[in-house]
Structure 1
Amino acid sequence: MEQIDILSLSPEALRAYLEAWGEPKFRAKQIFGWLHQKQVTEFSQMTSLSLQLREKLEQNFCINRLNIERRLASSIDDTVKYLYRLPDGNFVETVLMDYHHGKSLCISTQVGCRMGCQFCASTIAGYVRNLTPAEMLLQIYETQRDAGCRIDSLVLMGIGEPLDNFENVVAFFRLLSHPDGFGMSLRHVAVSTCGLVPRIRELADMRLGVTLSVSLHSPDARRRSEIMPVNRKYPLPELLEACRYYFQTTGRRVTMEYAVIDGVNGTKADAKKLADCLHGMQCHVNLIPVNPIAERSFRAFRKNVEQFEQELRRLGVNATIRRTLGSDIQAACGQLRRDASQQIADACGGGSN
């Protein structure tokens, strides 16, 4: 019999299993606390349960782990990048960052990505599958165990498009914020999307309290379609209207992520178009010098990013340059996974995913 991944179960689902076994309802709360508060890795560690119940849990469920394949610590700041190996042998990346407000973790939501953004390493090694709620939680729990710290905030900006894995991400949010579990307020969580308009509206209607970060990267429809194929399905005007809807529905200001790329989207004309697009919108523009990757020629000089920021501010746009962390360890997502996948493929005599 195939064992069930217990970390992905809601308290209600767990209670249904236990009631079918004739166990009292409060056992579900106990087990959920062992898993998500104390974060045990073995059923034998649940010492408040009877030996018989622990054995039954062992027979029917599993508590999976992620293995640290690589751990890169920055020599210029406190950023740590993890390459985690999943139980099926695939890889995802997680980045631990130190801010004045506490420890923040950037997690992955898919193995690979199918969105095809031209400047992103995550899509190069190919899409394989969605991550389960448990695999998202484990990036937090394993990092806490290794780093010996509590994660204070979370960003879903690692490998994958979170809203392309919508059901699992929402289930993860509910597990993450459950008061009997990890108990993180979703106001401390940001979810990034390249612009899946129907899902943005659906997320807004749920009123979960998460911050929405939108990968905008160009105010020009033709240019955005070139570097972000998603724009062909969900054009920029529809995306911006969905962002306005998100703010109107949730009261949460939207963050616009904008990777400045020399010769592509960083001119004064681009700044003017961007200001026109965002006029009257409650949002903040987060400027990012594009991360160079081996397979692309995209680059950005810091002075050009600063000039773009100044022009946006002159035009009345609330814009700042994101603090660069872990630049010496390739802290941008996708690069370690791509390299690890290629090494395995080379060892097996094949190509990349």
Structure 2
Amino acid sequence: MTDLYRVLPEEMDALVIKLGQPRYRADQLLHALYQESPKKISDLHQIPSAMQDALVAAGYTIGPKSEVHRVTSEDGHTTKLLLKFDEETLIEMVLMQYRSSKEDGHPRSTVCVSTQVGCPMGCVFCATGQMGFEKNLKAEEIVAQVLYFTQILRQRGEHVTNLVFMGMGEPLANYDETVRAVRLLTHPRAFGLGQRSITISTVGVISGIDKLADEDIQVKLAISLHAPNDVLRKKLVPTAGPNSVEDLILAAKRYFKKTGRRVTFEYALIDGMNDSNKVATELAQLLKGNGAHVNLIPMNPTAGGFSRPARKRVLAFQQILRDGGVNCTIRVEKGSEISAACGQLRTDVIKNITR
């Protein structure tokens, strides 16, 4: 069986012609899929019933999914969902909204999607990293996460404005499916989101960074650095190589040289681990002059006994970076009271189910 949400527009053209239909049927199919949220083939009322039957006979489907759990922050700006795609696959995703100064009043609505169930990278402070790796998600399952939130936003007269691949899993460890999902979500005949509205975050798959630089897609790249030296980074990211910090800096420079797009270094601030003045100074020396941007992320509390630094410590860390000539911001906190850190909601729900 092949999910229709896996099919790129060019492939859809070939498919309808193979079924003996005129090419314009492909546009009808794509419009219905991305604008009307059908749940099954028979919901595609724009095409003849004979064509619906032919799609089914050829093995095409619209994969079933159901909402398992939903939590919303007190201010209503953050919503986290668990979707179920089959008997075992639970996928976590988040909608984060920010007030807009635009005349239309529509908020900036960022959807954070997962690319894997679990994660093979093993970051000690990350709930997903601690659950282990289960499987890669398919492109259609990544797309489905965005479309599910799209339905919710349409009911409010709003729409998805930004997309981040920062949920469960390492996107560049599931490279082909991640890139296919990006192409589906940005194609003007499919979902049509602007490429520059998308950020792919990686904890450091060097081959994937280099490969992404050669793709004809203008997405933003964020690299999860978390430490200015290999000894500290290895404690936080057990899968990191012996020269991971230097390797990542060089990969970021190659990416910028090929694409002209600035790389963001994400830095999860963990109390007593990587938040000292000494570490901040070392990080400033490492990144000074390379044009990169640092996004400081006071971590959401997770299992493992790690906690976020006090606000005063976060601001001091930021100031040292700025004084050292490094462009730096602090990520706006979203959803800490609803377990909005990657993997937390899925972990919490599974615990409750198995009790």
Higher mean C-alpha deviation, range 122-131 or range 143-152: 143-152
Task: Report the CA distance shift for 1:234/1:89 in structure 2 as closer, same or farther (over 3 A).
Answer: farther
* d(CA) in 1 for partners of 2:160, 2:308: 32
- Tell me if 1:97 matches 2:96: yes
1:343 CA displacement: 4.0
Q: Map 1:17-96; keep pairs closer than 5 Å.
A: 17-59=15-57, 60-96=59-95
- Tell me if 1:246 matches 2:255: yes
1:77 CA displacement: 4.6
Which residue number in structure 2 is paired with residue 115 of structure 1? Answer: 121
Which residue number in structure 1 is paired with residue 4 of structure 2? Answer: 6
1:234 CA displacement: 5.8
Q: Map 1:141-152; keep pairs closer than 5 Å.
A: 141-147=147-153, 148=155, 149-152=158-161
1:23 CA displacement: 2.1
* d(CA) in 2 for partners of 1:163, 1:307: 33
Which residue number in structure 2 is paired with residue 351 of structure 1? Answer: none
* Deviations 1:240-281 (CA, angstroms, capped at 9, x unpaired): 011011111111111111111122111121111111111221
Question: Normalized against structure 1, the TM-score is what?
Answer: 0.93
Higher mean C-alpha deviation, range 161-170 or range 27-36: 27-36
- Tell me if 1:256 matches 2:265: yes
What amino acid maps onto 1:58 in structure 2?
V
CA contact (8 A) 1:195 1:230 kept: no
* d(CA) in 1 for partners of 2:243, 2:203: 10
Listed as ranges, the gaps of 5+ residues in structure 2 are: 101-107
Percent of residue pairs bearing the same amino acid type: 38
What amino acid maps onto 1:138 in structure 2?
A
- Tell me if 1:192 matches 2:201: yes
* d(CA) in 2 for partners of 1:205, 1:233: 26
User: Cα RMSD (Å) of the superposition?
Assistant: 1.7
Higher mean C-alpha deviation, range 328-337 or range 23-32: 23-32
Secondary structure of 2:332 counterpart = coil
What amino acid maps onto 1:175 in structure 2?
L
* d(CA) in 1 for partners of 2:327, 2:99: 21
Secondary structure of 1:285 counterpart = strand
Task: Report the CA distance shift for 1:39/1:273 in structure 2 as closer, same or farther (over 3 A).
Answer: same
Query: How many residues align structurally?
Result: 344
What amino acid maps onto 2:66 in structure 1?
N
* Deviations 1:308-344 (CA, angstroms, capped at 9, x unpaired): 1111111111111110011211111101112233344
Q: Map 1:230-241; keep pairs closer than 5 Å.
A: 230-232=239-241, 235-241=244-250
Which residue number in structure 2 is paired with residue 350 of structure 1? Answer: none
* Deviations 1:55-100 (CA, angstroms, capped at 9, x unpaired): 2223321112331111111113511111122224321211111123
* Deviations 1:11-66 (CA, angstroms, capped at 9, x unpaired): 23233333332222222222122112333223233223111111222332111233
* d(CA) in 1 for partners of 2:336, 2:173: 28
* Deviations 1:269-317 (CA, angstroms, capped at 9, x unpaired): 1111111111221211111112211333344222211111111111111
* d(CA) in 2 for partners of 1:105, 1:311: 31
CA contact (8 A) 2:109 2:160 kept: yes
Task: Report the CA distance shift for 1:246/1:326 in structure 2 as closer, same or farther (over 3 A).
Answer: same
Listed as ranges, the gaps of 5+ residues in structure 1 are: 348-353
Q: Map 1:148-187; keep pairs closer than 5 Å.
A: 148=155, 149-187=158-196
Task: Report the CA distance shift for 1:285/1:269 in structure 2 as closer, same or farther (over 3 A).
Answer: same
